[in-house]
Structure 1
Amino acid sequence: MGEAGGVPLRVVSYNIHSQRDDTAALAAVVRAARPDVVIVQEGPRRFRWRQKSATLAESFGLVVAAGGLPALGNLLLTSLRVQVVGTRCQRFPLTPGRHLRGAAYADCRVAGARFTLAGSHLSTDPAERQAQAAELKRGLDAATGPVLVGADLNEGPDGPAWATVARGLTDAAVAADAADRLTYSCADPRRRIDALFVDPRITVVDYDVVDTPQTRRASDHFPVLVDLLLPTTG
């Protein structure tokens, strides 16, 4: 059931470093958060990616909604509370000699609310990153429901790619007065390059960058944990 003002949704956005670190700690971190959705960057994208994605989702207590290889490692996972009604993947134009990048989208419903979940991971190259941000923004603008997008932007809030993606959306960290919380790296936190942006109709209730001994073992990025209230659609 919805609460006064909207339907609650708990979101984790997490670059899991291709599961190169402590995978038991990774699973424990996500399970402890009890999310409704997890937006994964650097998820399985190569050989046996479907099986690996399903195994990852199961370790979190979730199911695969969208992404994986078609979205170049961007993976959307949901609890059974969330109904997924449509999915799509986006690949950004390839710059020769660089890594392929893309985005995953899932149109979802939960307890009388609808929303479009999206996830992406932009390039480390500034020029390429800006072009990818424009492509991602076009994908977000095509969404049919209120958008919430989690991304590793590989730049901070003062960068042009960040500004492109954020345009017209709410930065959850700013809304929660927590923009000073750094997300990268776990070994030496100096930058906020991982973000969750939401449609202005979505209320940001709480925001956290989870910094614990477990998260420092689980990945090279800290997870972003956000509680939202979604507008009901009747």
Structure 2
Amino acid sequence: MTADRGVPLRVVSYNIHTQRDDAAALAAVVRAAEPDVVIVQEGPRRFRWRQKSATLAESFGMVVAAGGLPALGNLLLTSLRVRVTATRCQRFPLTPGRHLRGAAYAECRVGGARFLLAGSHLSTDPAERPGQAAAFKRELSAATLPVVAGADLNEGPDGPAWRGVAEGLTDTAVAMDRADRHTYSCADPRRRIDALFVDPRITVVDYDVVDTPQTRRASDHFPILVDLLLPAT
């Protein structure tokens, strides 16, 4: 790809269901996609989470960039093609008695392009999702680099949390006219609750929800696979 057209980046965003399903199928799904980055929801976040994260990354043929316990299970993985220059984690304000949620961020460089990779997983509780979405959105809006953000939003595009995160960004499914592709659940696909949003300066080349016999064994969510062209700096 020539520099004036952009720098290619292949992204997988994937809720892996805390690895409770077929681990071999999960690894095979990601390896077959050959991504440059993987945005993981429901990754390791408890006892020996560092070792478990490294083992998961190795099974994918990737390395850990950011996340894990400090990001409450959100994990960012990269191929060796991608250089990570800075990372940080976020925990959303705790609502008593509710589930802890957070996000992970990594400033990255690939070829002649720089970008912010981000991942989050919002609550199943509709009362607290908008506040978490707002906290996530503040970080994305403050970014000086083009944003590539994957999330399990636990609601569809008509929900307030989804709309809040999506504002000013490109919904990659909509860009490819594939917003009818459901991401959840693998057993009974009826909802699109997982998304990849990107900065408008980024070109969306292709979008897919990978529905195969392997993905149906690997998790309760289907993975999103997106090809992008990043603006060269």
Matched, 1:206 2:206: yes
8 A Cα contact 2:176 2:207, kept in partner: yes
Aligned equivalent of 1:191: 191
Residue of structure 2 equivalent to 1:139: 139
Query: Is the CA contact (8 Å cut-off) linking 1:2 and 1:111 kept in structure 2?
Result: no
**Partner in structure 2 of residue 106 of structure 1:** 106
What is the Cα-based RMSD across aligned positions, in Å? Answer: 0.8
1:171-186 matches, within 5 Å, as 171-186=171-186
Contact map agreement 2:216 2:222 (CA 8 A) in 1? yes
Q: Are the counterparts in 1 of residues 10 and 227 from structure 2 also a CA contact under 8 Å?
A: yes
Query: Aligned partners of 2:141, 2:135: CA distance in 1, in Å?
Result: 10
In the TM superposition, residue 144 of structure 1 has moved relative to its aligned partner by 2.5
Where does the alignment leave 5 or more consecutive residues of structure 1 unmatched?
Answer: none
**Residue equivalent to 1:78:** 78
How many positions carry a matched residue from both structures? 233
Q: Which runs of 5+ in 2 are unaligned?
A: none
Structure 1 partner of 2:167? 167
What is the alpha-carbon distance in structure 2 between the residues aligned to residue 157 and residue 217 of structure 1? 26
Cα distance in structure 2, aligned partners of 1:122 and 1:2: 37
Q: Runs in 1 of length 4+ with deviation above 2 angstroms?
A: 1-4
Q: Deviations over 1:40-98 (max 9, x none)?
A: 00000000000000000000000000000000000000000000000000100011111
**Aligned-partner SS, 1:151:** strand
Given the alignment of the two structures, is residue 49 of structure 1 paired with residue 21 of structure 2, yes or no?
no
Q: TM-score, normalised by structure 1?
A: 0.98
SS in 1 for 2:128: helix
How do 1:118-157 residues align onto structure 2 when only pairs under 5 Å count?
A: 118-157=118-157
Distance 1:38 1:3 in 2: 24
TM superposition shift of 1:142? 1.9
